[in-house]
Amino acid sequence: MSFFDLKDTLRPFTALKQFGKKPHTINYPEKTVEASDRYRGLHYNDLDDCIGCGNCSTICQNAAIDMIKIDGIEGKNGDSGLRPRVDNGRCCWCALCVEVCPTGSLSLTKDYNYVTDDADAFLWTPGVDNPDGKDRISFSTADGVSLNDFKRIPMPELEGMERVKSFAEAVIGYNEEQARAEASRCISCALCTEACPDHMHIPEYINAIARGNDADALRIIYDNNPLPEMCGKVCTRRCEDVCAIAVRGEPVAIRWLKRYATETALTSEITREIVNPEIKEPNGKKVGIVGAGPSGLTAAYYLALRGFDVTIYEANAKAGGMTMYGIPKYRLPLESLDKQIEYIEKIGVNIKYNTKVGKDISFEKIYKENDAVFIGVGFPKAWTLGIDGEESKGSMQAVNYLHMINADENVEIGDKVAVIGGGNVAIDAARVSARFGAEVTILYRRRIEDMPADWEEIEGAEDEGINMVPQAIPIKIHSDNKGNVKSIEYLLAEMVPDERGGRPKPVAIEGSNTIMEVTAVMGAIGQQGDYSFLEGEYEEKIKVDRGRFAVNDDQQTSDPKVFAGGDAVNRTADAISAIADGLRACKAIDKMLVGN
Amino acid sequence: MREKATTLYIGPQHPGITGNMMVRLKVEGDTIVKATTEVGYLHRAFEKLQEKRNWLQSFTLMCRFCVPETDPMEESYARAVETIEGREVPERAKYIRVMVLELARLASFMLWYGGQNGSLGLYTIGQWSVGDRNYILDLFEELTGGRVYHMYIWPGGVRRDLPKGFEQRVLKTMDYIEKRLDDYDDIMFNNAIFKKRTQGVGIVDKETAIEYGVVGAVLRGTGIKSDIRIDDPYEVYDKLDFEVPTAEGGDIWARALVRRQEARQSIRIVRQVIADMPEGSVYNRIPNPQKWTLPKGDAYVRTESVRGEIGLYVASDGGLYPRRVHLRGAAYVHGITLLEDVLKGSNVADVSAIMNSLGTCPPEIER
């Protein structure tokens, strides 16, 4: 071989045949090349769909995404009010942020990154900086690829017609494997923590369960909830309503996971061993608590841990308040509640049972003997229906009925029961009646989807064969000549849109009178407070506003020494709000008396 | 008279798209008597970073180990994770992976065409091949959303299925590239200058190759037939019909001949894969990445990259992050120890050509 090999010297000149061909890399005149349909260009965020969960920020391995406050977007339940801002100087366009976005609001567009001398342009707030980006979305999860687990691990439960035969707990509970799998769905966004009245450390304990550390989970849970097993079974779980996964899937079963963690401690002794709380030396201060419901028990538990001498005065034979007497045992078994209350007593809380304040002991005595008083008396008195025939035998209030059943008393209801109302009390009364063999019908003035009761309870009732008659307004209870309930008469209603933008109102249809033969009627349209125990000067000093104690942010009433919480204070009327009240009051009392 | 030795610093920039590294040469006249490589310009500590990235986040770092070799890295990581976890990969995904890997090989060869010739001052072919490579990058953009960093082969399969009509577009591009390879031959392999500059230059003999643990085209250029795709097949390579080209001589020319053939073999494989690709899902979904843990264990997987066999070791302590990720890349041996050895006695003018021919890839060396 030499330089002068003729073939090899001339052959390269064949390149000349390319001369004059149309260039294929550079176009003249210049034209813009449209990016492909999957191009991973600048981010776009649908600001309305985004809930600010921050999962994009968490997955970003370059820490390129910050969650920032944006003018015009306010935080609300289920929305942190924050939106992602991308630092394009750090972004590597891997698009994992898109793939983990639970709402699907975040996507990448066909927009190319660009050159500018504006250094701040690196910071890109998707959706704000490109409001029109929606038209150029390219890489998104719209094609169904997502890294979120949208499907919930089903909760094993007794079959509907089987469970109606007894008061056995209807829900069986997750086993370890199921709990780990369910916990692994959580993306730790903590929107739930914000929505929980008690701000429980939900992502933390779920994470502990996912890691297989149930004891840690239990300790985290007990940090601000001394009745977690009860909450794990019957909480109204507003946390799940706001779960980020629920936007496109089924919410993480937060309640069932809490239940799982608490049930790993089989006795109050084991609970104590695991939680092993620090109990401070007695500080010499005394606190009296009226009512051993969730709020009172919570205040008592955390006050006892802080070294207070706490005594609860409870009118009934058992503690727990509505969770003991209002919730049927197939939802919250007695042993479960006993276990939790035993534990609270073991910490040093003194509960005086069968001691009704105002009857067995005067409020004045409690007030004078203690350095602070907490009132958690709840709403024990039911509203009556206010219709004719309500005084008939067999017409009763659902909440009283539940109380008697839970107190092991006999109640005659016959074989055909009508329950009036659409809340949890109505559903509970209906399902309890079904367990006594009665054929049960729920009459509700609005539509089923308007029922304030928990959707799982409604489904449970349907599974158990309970009839539901929506848009039915009772007008009269008929009785036979012995004064026993014979039938209930109701009008059907049509839903009329509310002019002021509220939910549609039921308006009775004239002439639609229907009569249903029944042996018992239960009203479940709400309860109210009973503050007769406040006598004399206390009735004056402790102000009640529209049926509830007026309190400040510290749960303090108009008498600085007296605090209140639970249903008698807040409108949400659920156990977890009561627990939050108790905890807040505890902190305020501690601050007031000890200065912590 | 013996000439006085001088020290020359070459780099960190080189003609021929090698990447940033420096070579310190001791020369007498224009003959190199000693070469010392100095790396450190591109160290990004990916392996260490991965120890603080979860199993999914770590995947996005893999492609950055070596810029022209993104897919074999992703492939290795995905397979390592799947091995530790026992995660199945759908059959269709395996075919797609092979298609992507071979397209990536082809794209990388096109870059090499430009680099190898550029290092010799022959720039025309670089204009052609890098331009033609864009057609492959277009395919990647369409399939993965990215042109160079694809982040497409992830544990459990691939990220997205093929877009509609994609196979036809791939085949069309393959036909085009195949035709273009002949054009390249005209100005490269039938070029007196190229022959003169490469034949007998940068020789790696068989013994040295074996002693140094040389892989890929450099090894095959010494006449040794070795290819992980055949020796230890992964994905669906055992179902495919292709050849492993070799050449004798161990010089730049021999290695160029091997790569020339390999590019054609890649086209052959892509066609087969598209013909045989089954229907079905492309992804066996991983759990929520935030909570995704792998069982305790480790895996060492071997993949044939364009530079040759690479090995990736991944260890899990049962936690959310890799305990250790370590790459045994081809470029580390080729670009440091072997390069220093081969440069001894070479001409200064050939340094870049030899670096390129050995598959030196500083980003992969330093990771």
Tokens at A227, concatenated: 């009745």
Q: Which of residues 177-216 of A touch B (CB under 8 A)?
A: 183-188, 207, 210
Q: Select the residue from B124, B290, B292, B320 to test the A interface by mutation, using most A Cβ atoms within 10 A.
A: B290
Q: Both A546 and A587 in a single domain?
A: yes
Tell me whether residue A9 is in a domain: no
Tell me whether residue A374 is in a domain: yes
DSSP secondary structure string for all residues of A339-391: HHHHHHHHTT-EEETT--BTTTB-HHHHHHHSSEEEE-----EEPP---BTTT
Q: Both A547 and A504 in a single domain?
A: no
Span A233-245, pLDDT tens digits: 888 888 999 999 9
Give the number of domains in chain A: 4
Nearest to A466 by CA among A504, A505, A426: A426
- Residue after which a domain boundary falls, among A483, A499, A526: A526
Q: Both A522 and A417 in a single domain?
A: yes
Q: Both A411 and A438 in a single domain?
A: yes
User: What's the rounded Cα separation, in Å, for the pair B260 and B263?
Assistant: 6
Chain B residues close to A7, C-beta within 8 Å: 190
Q: Select the residue from A2, A40, A107 to test the B interface by mutation, using most B Cβ atoms within 10 A.
A: A40
Could you tell me which chain A residue has the CA closest to the CA of B152?
A: A94
Span B188-206, pLDDT tens digits: 888 888 888 898 898 999 9
Task: Please check whether residue A434 is in contact with residue A464, taking contact to mean a CB–CB distance below 8 angstroms.
Answer: yes
Inspect the interface and report whether the beta carbons of B187 and A11 lie closer than 8 Å: yes
Task: Please check whether residue A515 is in contact with residue A489, taking contact to mean a CB–CB distance below 8 angstroms.
Answer: yes
Q: Which of residues 462-501 of A touch B (CB under 8 A)?
A: none
Q: Both A395 and A467 in a single domain?
A: yes
pLDDT of the residue at B171: 94
Task: Give the distance from residue A234's alpha carbon to the nearest chain B alpha carbon, in angstroms.
Answer: 27
User: What's the rounded Cα separation, in Å, for the pair A99 and A97?
Assistant: 5
Task: Give the distance from residue B262's alpha carbon to the nearest chain A alpha carbon, in angstroms.
Answer: 22
User: What's the rounded Cα separation, in Å, for the pair B137 and B74?
Assistant: 17
Task: Please check whether residue A99 is in contact with residue A141, taking contact to mean a CB–CB distance below 8 angstroms.
Answer: yes
CA angle A42, A48, A52 (to 5 degrees): 75
Q: Both A80 and A129 in a single domain?
A: yes
* A21-30, A326-335, A496-505, B259-268: the lowest-pLDDT one: A21-30
pLDDT of the residue at B241: 92
Indicate which CATH number applies to the domain containing A180: 1.10.1060.10
Q: Over 90: is that where the pLDDT of A116 sits? A: no
Could you tell me which chain A residue has the CA closest to the CA of B187?
A: A12
CB neighbours of B188 closer than 8 A, spacing ≥ 6?
B113, B117, B122, B125, B194, B256
Rg (CA), chain A: 31
Inspect the interface and report whether the beta carbons of B146 and A93 lie closer than 8 Å: yes
Q: Select the residue from A19, A55, A96 to test the B interface by mutation, using most B Cβ atoms within 10 A.
A: A96
Q: Both A237 and A261 in a single domain?
A: yes
User: What's the rounded Cα separation, in Å, for the pair A51 and A75?
Assistant: 9
Say which of A92, A145, A147 has its CB closest to residue B60: A92
In this prediction, residue A77 has a pLDDT band, given cuts at 50, 70 and 90, of confident
DSSP secondary structure string for all residues of A294-342: HHHHHHHHHHHHTT-EEEEE-SSSSS-THHHHTS-TTTS-HHHHHHHHH
Task: Please check whether residue A346 is in contact with residue A222, taking contact to mean a CB–CB distance below 8 angstroms.
Answer: no
Could you tell me which chain A residue has the CA closest to the CA of B124?
A: A15
Inspect the interface and report whether the beta carbons of B288 and A187 lie closer than 8 Å: yes
Inspect the interface and report whether the beta carbons of A8 and B124 lie closer than 8 Å: no
Q: Is A552 on the interface with B (CB under 8 A)?
A: no
Residues of chain B with a CB closer than 8 angstroms to some CB in chain A: 53, 56-58, 60-61, 64, 124, 128, 131, 134, 138, 141-146, 149, 151, 159-160, 163, 183, 186-187, 190-193, 195-196, 199, 283, 285-292
Nearest to B242 by CA among B270, B217, B221, B212: B270
Lookup result for tokens 């529209």: A546
Tokens at A111, concatenated: 């927009």
- Residue after which a domain boundary falls, among A526, A547, A578: A526
CB neighbours of B172 closer than 8 A, spacing ≥ 6?
none
Tell me whether residue A150 is in a domain: no
Q: Which of residues 14-73 of A touch B (CB under 8 A)?
A: 14-15, 18, 24-25, 35-40, 55, 58-59, 61
The predicted model scores a pTM of 0.84
Chain A residues close to B149, C-beta within 8 Å: 92-94
pLDDT of the residue at A483: 85
Domain limits for position A106? 43-139
Span A215-262, pLDDT tens digits: 999 999 999 999 998 899 888 888 999 999 999 999 999 999 999 999
Q: Which parts of chain B register pLDDT below 70? A: 1-2, 16
Task: Please check whether residue B298 is in contact with residue B266, taking contact to mean a CB–CB distance below 8 angstroms.
Answer: no
Q: Both A493 and A395 in a single domain?
A: yes
Give the torsion sign (CA, B1, B2, B8, B14): positive
* A98-102, A282-286, B123-127: the lowest-pLDDT one: B123-127
Tell me whether residue A8 is in a domain: no
Task: Give the distance from residue B164's alpha carbon to the nearest chain A alpha carbon, in angstroms.
Answer: 11
Start-end of H helices in B155-282: 166-187, 192-198, 206-212, 216-220, 228-231, 252-276
- Residue after which a domain boundary falls, among A480, A510, A526: A526
In this prediction, residue A125 has a pLDDT band, given cuts at 50, 70 and 90, of very high
Task: Please check whether residue A164 is in contact with residue A465, taking contact to mean a CB–CB distance below 8 angstroms.
Answer: yes
Domains of chain B and CATH, by start: 6-366 (1.10.645.10)
Inspect the interface and report whether the beta carbons of A186 and B283 lie closer than 8 Å: no
Task: Give the distance from residue B9's alpha carbon to the nearest chain A alpha carbon, in angstroms.
Answer: 31
Say which of A18, A61, A145 has its CB closest to residue B160: A145
The residue type found at B143 is L
Nearest to B294 by CA among B58, B60, B48: B58
User: What's the rounded Cα separation, in Å, for the pair A146 and A100?
Assistant: 6
Q: Select the residue from A3, A5, A36, A112 to test the B interface by mutation, using most B Cβ atoms within 10 A.
A: A36
Task: Give the distance from residue A127's alpha carbon to the nearest chain B alpha carbon, in angstroms.
Answer: 20
Q: Both A211 and A93 in a single domain?
A: no
pLDDT of the residue at A2: 53
Indicate which CATH number applies to the domain containing A503: 3.50.50.60
Span A536-564, pLDDT tens digits: 888 888 888 888 988 899 999 888 999 99
Average pLDDT over residues A391-401: 90
* Residue A112 per-residue DSSP state: P
pLDDT of the residue at B191: 86
Could you tell me which chain A residue has the CA closest to the CA of B51?
A: A61
Chain B residues close to A184, C-beta within 8 Å: 287-288, 291-292
* Dihedral Cα B44, B45, B46, B52, nearest 10 deg: -130
Length of chain B: 367
Lookup result for tokens 């590019």: B263
pLDDT > 70 in chain A, percent: 99
Average pLDDT over residues A12-16: 83
Packed helices B124-144 and B166-187: angle between N→C axes, nearest 10 degrees: 170
> Is the ipTM of this structure higher than 0.95?
no
User: What's the rounded Cα separation, in Å, for the pair B16 and B198?
Assistant: 15
* Dihedral Cα A450, A452, A458, A459, nearest 10 deg: 70
Task: Give the distance from residue B360's alpha carbon to the nearest chain A alpha carbon, in angstroms.
Answer: 25
Q: Over 60: is that where the pLDDT of A187 sits? A: yes
Tokens at A539, concatenated: 């009735």
Say which of A11, A37, A149 has its CB closest to residue B191: A11
Span A339-373, pLDDT tens digits: 899 989 988 899 999 999 888 998 888 999 999 99
Tell me whether residue A4 is in a domain: no
Task: Please check whether residue A100 is in contact with residue A56, taking contact to mean a CB–CB distance below 8 angstroms.
Answer: yes
Q: Both A558 and A573 in a single domain?
A: yes
Q: Both A394 and A520 in a single domain?
A: yes
Tell me whether residue A33 is in a domain: no
A-B interface: how many C-beta pairs under 8 angstroms? 112
Task: Give the distance from residue B186's alpha carbon to the nearest chain A alpha carbon, in angstroms.
Answer: 6
Chain B residues close to A12, C-beta within 8 Å: 186-187, 190-193
Say which of A24, A143, A188 has its CB closest to residue B290: A188
Could you tell me which chain B residue has the CA closest to the CA of A184?
A: B291
Say which of B131, B186, B292 has its CB closest to residue A24: B131
* A4-8, A185-189, B185-189: the lowest-pLDDT one: A4-8
Chain B residues close to A92, C-beta within 8 Å: 60, 64, 149
Q: Select the residue from A2, A6, A34, A92 to test the B interface by mutation, using most B Cβ atoms within 10 A.
A: A92
Q: Both A434 and A323 in a single domain?
A: no
Say which of A36, A92, A147 has its CB closest to residue B141: A36
A275 three-state secondary structure? helix
User: What's the rounded Cα separation, in Å, for the pair A396 and A420?
Assistant: 11
Q: What is the β-pairing status of strands A520-523 and A381-382? A: unpaired
Tell me whether residue A451 is in a domain: yes
Task: Give the distance from residue A37's alpha carbon to the nearest chain B alpha carbon, in angstroms.
Answer: 7
Indicate which CATH number applies to the domain containing A82: 3.30.70.3270
pLDDT of the residue at B271: 94
Could you tell me which chain B residue has the CA closest to the CA of A144?
A: B160
Chain A residues close to B195, C-beta within 8 Å: 1, 8
User: What's the rounded Cα separation, in Å, for the pair A344 and A341?
Assistant: 5
Tell me whether residue A18 is in a domain: no
Q: What is the β-pairing status of strands B157-158 and B297-305? A: unpaired
Chain B residues close to A148, C-beta within 8 Å: 288
Inspect the interface and report whether the beta carbons of A8 and B61 lie closer than 8 Å: no
Q: Over 90: is that where the pLDDT of A596 sits? A: no
Inspect the interface and report whether the beta carbons of A59 and B141 lie closer than 8 Å: no
pLDDT of the residue at B335: 85
Lookup result for tokens 């999962």: A55
